[in-house]
Amino acid sequence: MTLEQVLSEISSLTPSEQLKIAQVIWDRLPDDFGIDLSPAQQAELDRRWTEYKKDPSSALNLEEFRERIRVARGK
């Protein structure tokens, strides 16, 4: 089966089934896969981490994050 055929089959599944497949694939990747960051990306992550450590209340918890996404989507 070609990659195109696999993707075609996956696209016919429900979003929940597609997410389950994505999770299984993600879980099978090596722990160090795809973590090469550019210097600019690393600097931005460092900046955000420093900002968070100064004021942890500036971060959203999961429920707040989901609510912002829900509102942004107009749901």
Each residue's pLDDT tens digit, 6-39: 999 999 999 999 999 999 999 999 988 877 899 9
Helical H runs in 1-75? 3-11, 15-28, 39-54, 62-72
pLDDT at res. 50: 97
Q: What is the rounded distance in angstroms from the CA atom of residue 48 to the CA atom of residue 44?
A: 6
DSSP state of 31: T
Can you tell me whether residue 58 is helix, strand or coil? helix
Is 0.75 topped by the overall pTM?
A: no
As a whole number, mean pLDDT of residues 53-64 equals 94
3 state DSSP class of 35 = coil
Domain ranges (residues) in the chain: 1-35, 37-75
For residue 63, name the pLDDT band (cuts at 50, 70, 90): very high
